[in-house]
């Protein structure tokens, strides 16, 4: 998942100890100022300087980039921006999403940015980012885990003052004049020092320096492998360096001979003890008390959602877990196969095909001629997630080096059954982000037990601590965790764990929104019933939680849609709804609009896959509203027409009426008055067929909208009929304020139709209704309108009297020239409730195709709005 951060520009001490790589750091610093090939050829560089740090997973490429950026930060007062361009699972991050997140980071710094509207194409958004970066001045853009050269070219600014540091597994041959730095293993002294640092304070490394060098060599001198080995060595204080080397050699020999362990199951279990005839799960089999699960009854399908475990109950993560627990989400369970050689196969075959041994034989900074040699280190091993529908395909991922695989297997196999299973399930963590609540839901254990397990994983080098209770799965371990999960866990169990996690996130989001509700509201009462760990005490804390988890929450919605093959569609829709409501409560509408657009697109995808016309219509209406609010009326018209067809297919009269009304509003924005009146008339017919008060209110509003478009077209008789019908409808609804406003609109149409006497009488009627309603502000505006009407017919004394009355109502203030008249709901007042047009109102902008009188009417309406 894309994420970025902005750091101070001063170069202070590194937050994480950094060992070795001094030669590479020096070469990178030299590359900043060295003359490039374009300069030598007399051609200007089309973008800023790009430095590439390339290496295999686990080579410490990201740590080197971070250390390099820390050391040069004082040269770039504009700050440091970060973005990760590959999601967990290997899917490249779309350029539009990465650019929007970086634009948001620049906006938080105070940089004036022009944010493209939701739904804009990638080129528009990335161009806006490049312009904003160029205006920012000297800054560093750190792009981690770059999948292909186009990602760098889309984001790199043209300003020569900026610097891009790209981190990738292979060469970026499509980037002009890129400066590559290829990484292998650490030098041996640094490797031994790193091993000693993670192994703890015991003198076992010091008393056996030759053995430590051999152990570092077995780890390929790779920082990730050394970290894992040091964590494992520190967790076994009674073992010597020679014992650790022998243990690692045993794992390597088992991998080389093709020997693999069976899927993790409780010792002495019968694999079929929880299954009945024909392999079906017996009642009670499953996680949690008595295998309980809850079924969501939302329309369009159902999914088994496990009950959240009691927050105070310790489920004993260290105890063996039932390896045969089942889940009814996916129907009949499937038993996990043995470890597949495609995922954990013969590493010697990989080395033979690629020539990559994982050792330190190619350490250092490469020359320009050697830049293309990295292509030989790529592997045909591809980790592809099962996605359906249009989505960016996962890239061909470089296979983790054999030493990293061996050390990971050593650490994984040293864990007890339950912690090892939790570790594997962390592959399901959204965007690799983990906290105790997510781990508790994935493992089906208490929060305290999950928190203790996460801290242990950090000590073993399996997780990175982000501060507080937040953790991150290292990117180099993600494919290994996914391979272990696929090999050792049944698909039904994996689906159940994902369902538990999504249900927990839904409950947290509901609490995040509920804390913004007033005390005593139903939402607050529901939040009070949640366990303590899921509640929030203050809106500020809820907003901080939402901001820190935002990338992970968005990633969870995407994976719920793309990786569950439709089995968790109901949970996915609930998560989207809860996330959208939380954004509405804690973020500004303009700030949340791009993410809401993506969420509605996910709902549309789920609805189309599940053949749910009602949900499809709702998603299309929401997308159409966002398009229309950003003046993309042609796209909005397509959305609304498709939504109308879906609503009719699903028998949803409310959605159909809203779609027709929105079509009318779009045509009004395009100044196609006849079509607007036609669609408003169809929506009115649908409302009149119903007898609820909400439909009666909507009918009154639609009468007013029909009157508005007819008046803008200069059809005064039709406009008078529609506005009189609106006034009568509001009178029947006992809504005197809107009744008065509708009468004022009748009078205004009469003025433009050259009926001044009738207009004056109607204004007086509206004024009387406003006084009866007790609306002083409305009465003041109507007094001024009545004064203008009186002046038109020559009643100057009456005009002065009405102006004096308006002055009294305004507290002695002199009324402004051209007063604004609060419009009735039928006139398109903003926020008049659903169903509404694309902007919540009908707009009548001036246009060259209308006559003089209709232009004047529209101008008055625009002024009054």
Segment 362-416, tens digit of pLDDT:
333 333 333 333 333 333 333 333 333 444 445 556 788 999 999 999 999 999 9
pTM of structure = 0.75
| Alpha helices, DSSP H, located in 395-477 | 402-414, 417-425, 436-443, 447-459
CA distance 189 to 108: 43
Of 256, 280, 298, the position where a domain reaches its end is 256
Asked if the structure places residue 461 within a domain, the reply is no
Domain that holds residue 835: 612-864
Asked if residue 206 and residue 72 are part of one domain, the reply reads no
Give 439-448 pLDDT, tens digit per residue: 999 999 999 9
Same domain, 707 and 817: yes
| DSSP-based three-state secondary structure for 19 | coil
The answer to whether residues 74 and 220 belong to one domain is no
Is a pLDDT exceeding 50 seen at residue 339?
no
Choose the weakest-confidence range: 326-335, 528-537, 654-663: 326-335
Residue 192 lies in a domain: yes
Domain with residue 657: its CATH number is 1.25.40.10
- Report helix, strand or coil for 312: coil
Task: Return mean pLDDT, the chain.
Answer: 79
806 CB contacts (<8 Å, ≥6 apart)? 780, 781, 783, 784, 787, 815, 819
At which residue do the structure tokens 């929060």 appear? 447
Q: Is 182 helix (H, G, I), strand (E, B) or coil?
A: strand
**What is the pLDDT at residue 287?**
35
Residue 242 lies in a domain: yes
CATH number at residue 119: 3.40.50.300
Are 830 and 710 in the same domain?
yes
Contact 498, 564 (CB under 8 A): yes
Domain boundary residue, one of 222, 238, 256? 256
User: Looking at the structure, do residues 214 and 65 belong to the same domain, yes or no?
Assistant: no
Number of domains in the chain: 3
The tens digit of pLDDT for each residue in 826-842 reads 444 333 333 333 333 33
Nearest 5°: the CA angle 816, 822, 825 is: 165
Residue 490 domain flag: no
- In angstroms, what CA-CA distances link 767 with 740, 762, 771, 786, 863? 7, 9, 6, 8, 20
CA–CA dist 267, 718 (Å, integer): 83
Going by C-alpha positions, the residue among 263, 302, 690, 205 that lies closest to residue 494 is 263
Do 645 and 787 fall within a single domain? yes
pLDDT above 70 covers a percentage of the chain that reads: 74
pLDDT average, residue stretch 697-721: 94
Q: Do 730 and 675 reside in the same domain of the chain?
A: yes
């Amino acid at each position: 998942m894309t994420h970025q951060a902005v750091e101070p520009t001063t170069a202070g001490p590194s937050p994480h100890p950094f060992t070795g790589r001094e030669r590479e750091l020096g070469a990178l610093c030299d590359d900043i100022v060295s003359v490039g090939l374009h300069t030598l050829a007399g051609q200007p560089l089309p973008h800023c300087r790009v430095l590439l740090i390339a290496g295999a997973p686990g080579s410490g490429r990201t740590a080197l980039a971070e250390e390099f950026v820390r050391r040069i930060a004082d040269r770039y007062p504009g700050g440091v921006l970060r973005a990760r361009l590959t999601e967990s699972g290997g899917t490249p991050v779309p350029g539009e999403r990465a650019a929007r997140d970086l634009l948001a980071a620049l906006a938080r710094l105070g940089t004036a940015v022009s944010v493209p509207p939701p739904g804009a194409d990638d080129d528009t958004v990335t161009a806006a980012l490049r312009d904003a970066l160029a205006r920012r001045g000297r800054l560093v853009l750190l792009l981690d885990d770059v999948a292909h050269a186009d990602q760098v070219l889309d984001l790199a600014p043209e300003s020569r003052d900026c610097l891009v540091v790209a981190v990738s597994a292979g060469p970026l041959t499509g980037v002009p004049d890129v400066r590559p730095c290829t990484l292998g293993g650490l030098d041996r002294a640094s490797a031994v020092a790193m091993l000693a640092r993670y192994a703890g304070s015991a003198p076992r490394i010091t008393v056996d320096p030759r053995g430590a060098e051999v152990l570092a060599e077995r780890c390929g001198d790779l920082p990730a492998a050394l970290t894992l080995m040091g964590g494992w060595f520190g967790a076994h204080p009674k073992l010597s360096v020679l014992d650790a080397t022998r243990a690692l050699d045993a794992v390597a020999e088992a991998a080389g001979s093709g020997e693999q362990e069976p899927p993790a199951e409780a010792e002495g279990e019968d694999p079929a003890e929880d299954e009945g005839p024909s392999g079906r799960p017996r009642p009670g089999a499953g996680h949690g008390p008595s295998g309980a699960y809850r079924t969501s009854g939302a329309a369009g399908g159902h999914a088994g959602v496990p009950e959240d475990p009691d927050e105070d109950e310790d489920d004993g993560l260290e105890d063996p877990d039932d390896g045969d627990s089942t889940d009814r989400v996916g129907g009949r369970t499937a038993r996990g196969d043995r470890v597949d050689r495609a995922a954990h196969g013969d590493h010697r075959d990989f080395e033979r095909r690629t020539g990559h041994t994982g050792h330190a034989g190619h350490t250092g900074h490469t020359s320009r001629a050697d830049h293309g040699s990295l292509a030989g280190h790529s592997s045909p091993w591809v980790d592809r997630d099962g996605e359906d529908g249009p989505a960016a395909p996962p890239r061909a991922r470089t296979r983790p080096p054999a030493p990293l695989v061996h050390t990971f297997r050593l650490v994984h196999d040293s864990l007890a059954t339950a912690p090892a299973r939790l570790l594997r399930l962390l592959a399901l963590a959204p965007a690799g982000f983990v906290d105790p609540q997510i781990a508790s839901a994935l493992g089906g254990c208490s929060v305290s037990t999950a928190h203790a397990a996460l801290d242990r994983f950090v000590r073993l080098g399996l997780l990175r601590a982000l501060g507080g209770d937040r953790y991150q799965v290292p990117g180099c371990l993600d494919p290994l965790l996914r391979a272990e999960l696929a090999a050792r866990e049944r698909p039904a169990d994996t689906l159940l764990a994902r369902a538990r996690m999504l249900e927990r996130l839904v409950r947290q989001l509901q609490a995040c929104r509920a804390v913004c509700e007033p005390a005593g509201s139903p939402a607050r009462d529901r939040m009070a019933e949640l366990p303590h760990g899921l509640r929030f005490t203050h809106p500020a804390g809820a907003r901080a939680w939402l901001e820190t988890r935002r990338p992970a929450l968005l990633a969870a919605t995407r994976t719920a849609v793309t990786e569950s093959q439709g089995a968790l569609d109901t949970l996915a829709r609930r998560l989207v709804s809860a996330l959208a409501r939380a954004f509405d409560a804690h973020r500004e509408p303009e700030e949340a609009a791009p993410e809401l657009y993506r969420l509605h697109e996910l709902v549309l995808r789920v609805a189309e896959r599940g053949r749910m016309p009602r949900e499809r219509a709702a998603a299309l209406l929401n997308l159409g509203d966002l398009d229309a609010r950003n003046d993309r009326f042609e796209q909005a018209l397509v959305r609304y027409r498709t939504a109308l067809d879906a609503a009719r297919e699903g028998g949803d009269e409310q959605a159909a009426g809203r779609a027709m009304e929105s079509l009318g509003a779009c045509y009004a924005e395009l100044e196609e008055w006849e079509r607007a009146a036609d669609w408003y008339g169809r929506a009115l017919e649908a409302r009149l067929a119903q007898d609820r008060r909400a439909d009666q209110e909507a009918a009154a509003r639609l009468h007013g909208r029909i009157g508005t478009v007819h008046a803008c077209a200069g059809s005064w008789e039709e406009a008078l009929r529609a506005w009189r019908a609106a006034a009568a409808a509001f009178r029947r609804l006992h809504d005197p304020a809107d009744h008065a406003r509708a009468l004022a609109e009748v009078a205004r149409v009469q003025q433009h139709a050259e009926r001044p006497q009738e207009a004056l009488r109607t204004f007086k009627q509206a004024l009387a209704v406003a006084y009866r309603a007790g609306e002083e502000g409305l009465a003041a505006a109507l007094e001024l309108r009545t004064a203008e009407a009186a002046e038109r017919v020559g009643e100057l004394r009456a005009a002065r009297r009405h102006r004096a009355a308006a002055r009294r109502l305004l507290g002695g203030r002199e009324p402004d020239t051209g007063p604004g008249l609060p419009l009735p709901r039928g006139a398109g007042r903003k926020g008049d409730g659903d169903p509404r047009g694309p902007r919540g109102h009908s707009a009548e902008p001036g246009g060259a195709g209308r006559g003089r009188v209709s232009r004047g009417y529209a101008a008055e309406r625009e002024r009054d709005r």
